[in-house]
Amino acid sequence: MRKIKIITDSTAGLTQEEAAKWNIDILYLTVEIDGKVYNPKTDITPEGFMDRMAETKELPKSSQPAIGSFVEAYEKYTAEGYEILSIHLTEKLSGTVNAARQAADMVEGNITVVDSDYTARGQAFQVLAAAEMAQNGDFSVEEIHAKINDIRDKTKLYIVVVTLDNLIKGGRVGRMQGFLGSLLNIKLIAKLTDGQLEEETKVRSNKKVLQYCLNLVKDEPQKIQHLDVVHANGLNLADEFISETKEITGLTEIPLFFADPVISTHAGAGAFAFMYYTD
């Protein structure tokens, strides 16, 4: 029976129950607010982070796990006889996966580092599938890698940003576009494509946001296998989207998650995202 350890980072948004059930190790990205660094594992909740972010004038800063944290984890599990599959958020949004690659080069053992090309639950889809196969014990790292590549290719992630302030401060969109967005109360719908956010469309009301997002799901040519929703104090829109989507797709369960602080930092208050993969 093969021993394969799955490692990921906190932006995947795994619950403690998921991590425990599938024996997944999570390395945490930290956030800095007004000079104080918080670890989401021990220092601040996603809800508490939103409160603190609302109180500060500066955009919180996020930091990837130190290379030393990866080295420590990799050395621990390789010493215990594990092969390692380390799956992380897109390198277009963070240097986390590159830190993982550097650490892998420093440690003896079979370590495979994967750029998921996603974040949030879009990343979690791959992590959970990998962990389930690893726990089975009958699959090789190569077979698991092939499976999660297939899931990646069939995944789509859309995010609705109701205020562009944080994207502007973080340099994610042009300043003029942000100015116009604030002036005209425009809401941005973006799609994560090839690991980076690209504008899908802009609309001017929550009603139009909801209708556009529902049309994306309704017009999906392939059957949706699983769909998750993540929000950053965007619960009203998220709940409405979930209710309507269940009717459209026939899905009986659409899990709802509060966004990881790193994601909330860039998406801003009121944002929600939905991600799914198809058959």
Task: Answer yes or no: is pLDDT of 129 > 60.
Answer: yes
pLDDT digits 0-9 by tens, 93-117: 999 999 999 999 999 999 999 999 9
Residues 162 and 252 in one domain: yes
pLDDT the model gives residue 177:
53
Phi-psi region of 62 (alpha: psi -120 to 50; beta: other; left: phi over 0): beta
In a 13 Å sphere around the CA of 68, the CA atoms on its Cβ side amount to 0
Residues 119 and 167 in one domain: no
Residues 14 and 124 in one domain: yes
Phi-psi region of 61 (alpha: psi -120 to 50; beta: other; left: phi over 0): beta
Residues 163 and 139 in one domain: no
DSSP state for residue 118 in the 8-state scheme:
-
The band of 28, judged by pLDDT with boundaries at 50, 70 and 90, is very high
Of 137, 153, 169, the one marking the end of a domain is 153
Task: Answer yes or no: is pLDDT of 30 > 80.
Answer: yes
Residues 167 and 214 in one domain: yes
Residues 241 and 267 in one domain: yes
CA dihedral 180, 182, 187, 191 (to 10 degrees): 60
**Per-residue exposure over 121-146, b if at least 16 CB sit within 10 Å of its own CB, e if not:** bbbbbbbbbbbebbeeeebebeebbe
Task: Answer yes or no: is pLDDT of 174 > 70.
Answer: no
pLDDT digits 0-9 by tens, 231-268: 999 999 999 999 999 999 999 999 999 999 999 988 88
Residues 196 and 89 in one domain: no
The band of 44, judged by pLDDT with boundaries at 50, 70 and 90, is very high
Residues 167 and 270 in one domain: yes
Residues 63 and 261: their CA atoms lie apart, in Å, by 11
- What CATH number is associated with residue 107? 3.40.50.10170
Share of the chain above pLDDT 70, in %: 92
Long-range contact set of residues 36-42: C-beta below 8 Å, sequence gap at least 24: 37/63, 38/261, 40/10, 40/260, 40/261, 40/262, 41/10
Task: Answer yes or no: is pLDDT of 162 > 90.
Answer: no
The contacts of residue 70 (CB under 8 Å, 6+ apart) are 27, 86, 99, 100, 102, 103, 104
Contact 11, 124 (CB under 8 A): no
Share of the chain above pLDDT 90, in %: 80
pLDDT digits 0-9 by tens, 180-216: 445 457 888 999 998 888 889 989 889 999 999 999 9
Residues 73 and 203 in one domain: no
Domain count along the chain: 2
Residues 222 and 249 in one domain: yes
Contact 123, 89 (CB under 8 A): yes
Average of per-residue pLDDT values in the chain: 91
Q: Which of 92, 59, 88, 63 is nearest to 190 (CA)?
A: 92
Residues 97 and 109: their CA atoms lie apart, in Å, by 18
Residues 125 and 163 in one domain: no
Of 153, 168, 187, the one marking the end of a domain is 153
Residue-range definition of the domain harbouring residue 219: 154-278
Residues 10 and 147 in one domain: yes
pLDDT the model gives residue 175:
43
Alpha helices in 107-196 (DSSP H): 120-136, 141-153, 165-169, 175-184
The band of 155, judged by pLDDT with boundaries at 50, 70 and 90, is very high
| CA distances from residue 46 to 27, 134, 135, 151 in whole angstroms, order as listed | 16, 29, 29, 27
- What CATH number is associated with residue 255? 3.30.1180.10
Query: Could you tell me how far CA 146 lies from the centroid of its own chain?
Result: 20
Of 109, 127, 153, the one marking the end of a domain is 153
